[in-house]
DNA sequence: TCATCCCCGTTATGTAATAACATAATTCAA
DNA sequence: TTGAATTATGTTATTACATAACGGGGATGA
């Protein structure tokens, strides 16, 4: 995590342990099965890497880590990422060009994030989107999905 | 505008005329003067091109159009863009890698957009950000700026 | 008028993402 | 169970987006 705009440590975090990851991968497989989609090896591997990482991870970091012996080809990872995103298993953080596992499977295709510019962590928050849907209604605009990205500093980095 | 996911025309738009652009450029110069910043030639040119364009425009389109005779160098334009963004004169649309002139100088560094996936137009909407600021407060997160991007279809593209 | 700061021009490179086409695995109906 | 259709992957190459690094020049202020 090389976001150091400050000098304190950034270890106020806790990634999933391997059991946690296994559990999430199993859920994901079940979800795909239920949806009639295939959870293939590269997709699973990509999701595993996203889950194992603490916070948003870049596509090229995934590419580098994909094989124990060497890097994957970009399309392998990008295709997996877009599949996972469509399945609601991960989110793309536009302002970071990075990806993060989805926490909250309720609000499909819409998400809000608090992004710490200091430690690089992200927190996914559920929002009621009433004010934006209201505005959209006034404009006669059909919203398909909303991305909200709030940048600032998290509690530990204040 | 090459967004055609549909076949109807996308001319439901109206760019600023040259008087409108002149007026906006003059305002921008005044704003810089007041802030003790320099509105230099490349910055002004960049802003002019953003204003002249209808909707979000890509950095490399600006680069191509910068000089009548040929393209600018990328850093020229990127530097100008980041200056203009800091001054609140333009917004970056993260999910499009594109830039649009700011309409509403009230809510500094935060903006919400309705982005039509069909015609590529954007509408800047003012929102009350109470629900996200509330969530941030609960997380003890200090928000510096918020970007909200709602994708869908505008009235004319329905 | 000298030092400093800010900005610009330029070259080069780094980073992110996709186009295009070939091959392989899966599914499903005949 | 075979073969056609579909879906996914492998591979090469390219395109798109963005910044690092350095030198020079003009404005600003002691």
CB-nearest partner of B147 from A95, A140, A145: A95
Tens of pLDDT, residues B102-145 = 987 665 567 789 998 888 889 898 877 888 888 898 889 888 88
Question: Which chain B residues touch A107 with a CB distance below 8 Å?
Answer: none
Please count the CA atoms within 13 angstroms of the CA of B69 that sit on its side-chain side.
0
Confidence (pLDDT) at B111: 79
Query: Which of these, B8, B155, B150, B16, lies nearest to B93 by C-alpha position?
Result: B150
- Mutation site for A-interface testing, chosen from B141, B143, B146, B158 by largest number of A Cβ within 10 Å: B141
Residues of chain B with pLDDT under 70: 1-14, 105-109
Q: Measuring CA to CA, how many Å separate B59 from each of B63, B77, B94, B103, B109?
A: 6, 7, 12, 19, 20
pLDDT at A13: 59
What per-residue confidence (pLDDT) applies to B58? 98
pTM of this prediction? 0.89
Tokens of A140: 């006669």
Q: Tell me what pLDDT residue A118 has.
A: 81
Residues 6+ apart with CB under 8 A from A1: A10, A54, A55, A119, A120
Rounded Cα gap, residues A33 and A74, in angstroms: 26
Q: Which of A131, A142, A144 sits opposite B127 (nearest CB)?
A: A131
pLDDT at position A3, please? 45
Asked whether the beta carbons of B66 and B77 are under 8 A apart, the reply is: yes
| CA–CA distance, A10 with A121 (Å, rounded to integer) | 9
> Residue-wise pLDDT tens for chain A (158 aa)?
334 455 556 665 567 888 999 999 999 999 999 999 999 999 999 999 999 998 999 999 999 999 998 899 999 999 999 999 999 999 999 999 999 999 876 655 677 899 988 888 898 888 778 888 888 998 898 888 888 888 888 888 76
Per-residue confidence (pLDDT) for residue A117, from 0 to 100: 84
Phi and psi torsions of B105, nearest 5°: -80, 10
Q: Chain C positions under 7 Å from a protein CB? A: 6-12, 15-20, 26-27
Chain Cα centroid distance, residue B88: 9
Sign of the torsion angle spanned by Cα atoms B62, B67, B71, B75 = negative
Q: How far apart are CA A71 and CA A61, in angstroms?
A: 9
Nearest nt by C1' to B98 Cα = D17
Q: Do B81 and B59 form a contact (C-beta atoms < 8 A)? A: yes
Q: Give dist(CA B105, CA B94) in Å, integer.
A: 19
Q: What is the DSSP letter of B141?
A: -
Whole-number pLDDT of residue B1:
38
Q: Is B145 within 8 Å of A151 (Cβ atoms)? A: yes
Q: How far is the CA of B42 from the C1' of C3 (A)?
A: 26
Tally Cβ neighbours within 10 Å of residue B16: 15
């Amino acid at each position: 995590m090389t976001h150091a705009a400050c000098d304190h440590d950034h270890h106020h975090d806790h990634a999933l342990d391997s059991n946690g990851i296994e559990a999430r991968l199993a859920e994901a497989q079940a979800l795909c099965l239920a949806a009639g989609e295939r959870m293939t090896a590269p997709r699973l591997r990509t999701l595993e890497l996203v889950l194992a990482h603490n916070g948003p991870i870049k596509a090229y970091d995934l590419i580098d880590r994909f094989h124990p012996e060497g890097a994957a080809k970009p399309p392998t990872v990008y295709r997996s990422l877009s599949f996972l995103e469509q399945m609601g298993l991960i989110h793309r953080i536009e302002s970071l060009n990075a990806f993060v596992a989805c926490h909250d499977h309720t609000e499909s295709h819409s998400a809000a994030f608090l992004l710490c510019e200091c430690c690089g962590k992200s927190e996914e928050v559920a929002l009621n989107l009433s004010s934006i849907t209201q505005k959209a209604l006034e404009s006669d605009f059909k919203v398909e999905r909303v991305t909200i990205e709030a940048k600032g500093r998290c509690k530990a980095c204040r």
